[in-house]
Each structure stands twice: as C-alpha cells, then as structure tokens.
Amino acid sequence: MSDKSYLDWPFFDDSHRQLRAELEDWASENTSAHHGDTDSACRDLVARLGKAGWLRYAVGGKDCGGRYDSIDTRAICLLRETLARHSGLADFAFAMQGLGSGALTLHGSPEQKQRYLARVAAGEAIAAFALSEPGSGSDVAAMECTARADGDAYVLDGEKTWISNGGIADFYIVFARTGEAAGSRGLSAFVVDADTPGFEIAERIEVIAPHPLARLRFSGCRVPRASLVGAPGQGFKVAMQTLDIFRTSVAAAALGFARRALDEALSRATRRKMFGQTLADFQITQSKLAQMATGIDAAALLTYRAAWLRDQGRNVTREAAMAKMTATETAQQVIDAAVQIWGGLGVVSGHPVEKLYREIRALRIYEGATEVQQLIIARQTLAAYSQANP
C-alpha cells in the first residue's frame, strides 16, 4: 500500500481525503483486467468511470453534470494519481474526458455546455483535444490548419496529429488559424462532432503504451459558427488555459506511476534473498529507495502546490510547468530504479514495472515536452527578474 501521509498536507481538505479513499476502493475492483482491444477497453472504462460518478470531476458546472461549479484541480490530480497507480489506461480514459472538454468548461457557451458537458460527465460522449499538427507540436503558434469564415459557418482544412482518443471520440476541440492577426493571436477553437462531413481519421498510430491515438484530416469540413469556443482569435489562450489545468494533472499521473513503482520495488527488495540477506539490507539498494521516496515527495509537493494555487484562482503557468517537468522526469528515474531492483523479471512483458516503464515515457513529451516546460519556467523567471530590476 502506497504512502498516504501526503494527504495530511495543508493543500487538502476532508472532501479530498474522502474522494481519494472512495476512489481507491473503486479502482481496486474496476481497473484491473482489460478485455478486448484498446478501443473497446477505453470505451468501457469511460462508461464505467461515468456511471460511478468520477467523470463529474472532469467537467465544471453543476448544472451540466459537473461535481462542482468549477474544476477542482486537486480533485482531478488525486483522481489521476490514484487511477494511474492502478491502471495507465483508466487514468488515460479519465484524463482525456477532462482535457477534451476543458475548453468547453472554461469558455463554452451555455448551449455548448448543455450539449456536451453532461454527456462527458456521464461517460456517454468521448472527448478529444486536437492541437498538435505534423509541422507544429511545441510551436503552437506555427499551426497551419485553417478555419475560413463562410456565411453562417467556418470551413476547416488541414491536419492534426498525436490526437489521443482519435478514432473513438464523439467530438474534438480543434484549434485552427482564423487569421485575426499573425501568430498566436490569429487562432480560434472549435467543437467538431466526429460525424461532421469533411472530417476523417487519416491514420491510427500505435505507441509503446497502447491507447487510442490518431492523425486527423479536415477537408472542407463545414461547422456552424456556433461551434466556435470562446472569442475568435483567442484560441491560443483557450489552449494554454486548458493546459494550465491538465499539465498539473499529468504531473499527478506521473506521481501515481512513481508511487506504484516504489511499492513494487519495496515488495521485491524486502523479499528477494541474495548473498544471505535481502536486497533491502544492501546499502546500495537503500540508497536507491531513499532517492525514489524523496523524488516522489518533491514531485508531490510541486504538483499539489500548483493544483492548490489554481484552486485559489491564481495563475499557475510557471508552477504547472515546474510540476509537470519534475514529476514526469522523476517518475522516469523511479520506474527505472524499480526495474533494476526487479532485475530480469522487471523486463518481462506484462510485469507491472515493465508496463510502468512503457507507460511513463510519453508523459515527458505530451502536453508540452520537458524542454517546453523549461522554456516556460525560464521565461517567467527572467521576466520576474527584469520586473524587479528595471
């Protein structure tokens, strides 16, 4: 059983502790074995998460299915951390409902919220977030996908790639260039139903930790003007504000993977006999365990600081970047150490630490690679310095 002492930190209140305890019981029974292919396992997880009420935390607005009127970032992080400890795919299914509908929670019109959010919260509609393109992943402002105003509609043309839930989503939040200004000030966000003519899945993409992923193509894809999410030209900010919430939750998922790895390492180290003692009796193992435990606490402090600050209504771009960078990089090291402690068994396909080794890798890349987080942190640190030293 993982360390729970962090739940006493001042970032949390009783509602968070209760949520975590109830979810722990649910996840133990509902996330273990996935039958069938990844698509159907994901659909099944979304339906079950919805039925159990967990997806209500992924959307904001009590009148459209949300648990609270706005997103409780700490709750989302506890959910992701706990789910990730049990199953990477369960965490993925939960996270994508939030990321894929986050723009609607933050900027959707009342009609859009009524139409989409209640179904997302119930697990009856699957959501996706379509930002990256073949030629622009980190450099969002360079995107080429266009949305041309035409009467009472916009016409979308271009491609998106690395889109999670691509192929199984019922709707996509799509960012495209509307041209109000150059660069980041000329982008807008749209909600596009998966059955809209002119929209197609160009390619399904297989990755080391399987989950639905695709390249999307828009060819003269006509959506009503009412599909615009937020104001025209504000798409970049809509995307960044959504990422400010969900980057922190990526950190929480990494934390869940890392905690599971430490549990697995402790279980092995205390049982495995070698040279007349257990692995845990060797100082060299203790050194590893100490670094793993300390790294996890440091990542947890940054993660829940960012979540708590956002729930106080503060701007957390810098804190979310620090949390994501530290938690994902730390989790990679913790999991690698767990594999080492398990030795040969740690690389056997299907072993828990082997699965973690595959699961963690993408988190250092998606929703802003570690290098992008460094850019964000450095820019903010330099800006603060310049402001203090004019």
Report, as residue numbers or ranges, the catalytic residues.
Answer: 367
CA dihedral 349, 259, 212, 226 (to 10 degrees): 180
Encoded one letter per residue, x for contact with ligand COS by CB under 6 A and - for no contact, window 275-314 reads: ----------------------------------------
Among 43, 148, 185, 358, binds ligand COS (CB under 6 A): 185
Query: Shortest approach of ligand COS to residue 132 CB, angstroms?
Result: 5
Residue 203 has phi, psi (to 5 degrees) of -165, 140
Binders of ligand COS among residues 121 to 160 (CB under 6 A) are: 131-132, 137-141
Cβ proximity to ligand COS: between 72 and 244 the closer is 244
Instruction: Output the DSSP codes for 78-137.
Output: HHHHHHHHH-HHHHHHHHHHHHHHHHHHHH--HHHIIIIIHHHHHTSS-EEEE--BTTBS
Nearest residue to 98 via CA among 246, 258, 253, 257: 246
Query: To the nearest whole angstrom, how small is the minimum distance from the Cβ of residue 138 to ligand COS?
Result: 5
Q: How far is the CB of 140 from ligand COS (least distance, A)?
A: 4
In whole angstroms, give the CA distance from residue 126 to residue 74: 23
- Three-class secondary structure of residue 16 per DSSP: helix
Q: Rule CB under 6 A: choose which of 72, 244, 311, 329 binds ligand COS.
A: 244
Residue-wise DSSP of 171-208 = EEEEEEE--SSSGGGGEEEEEEETT-TTEEEEEE---S
The piece of 20-28, 107-115, 239-247, 355-363 that touches ligand COS (CB under 6 A) is: 239-247
The residue among 138 and 287 lying less far from ligand COS, judged by its C-beta, is 138
184 binds ligand COS (CB under 6 A): yes
Identify residues 357-376 at the interface with ligand COS (CB under 6 A): 366-368, 372, 375-376
Out of 42, 95, 194, 243, the only residue in the binding site for ligand COS (CB under 6 A) is 243
- Please report which helix (H) or strand (E) contains residue 243, including its range: helix 235-271
Q: What is the token pair recorded at 352? A: 């828990």
Q: Kindly state the helix (H) or strand (E) to which residue 215 belongs, with its residue range.
A: strand 213-224
By CB under 6 A, tell whether 72 contacts ligand COS: no
By beta-carbon proximity to ligand COS, the closer residue of 96 and 122 is: 96
Residues within the interface to ligand COS (CB under 6 A): 131-132, 137-141, 184-185, 236-237, 240-241, 243-244, 317, 366-368, 372, 375-376
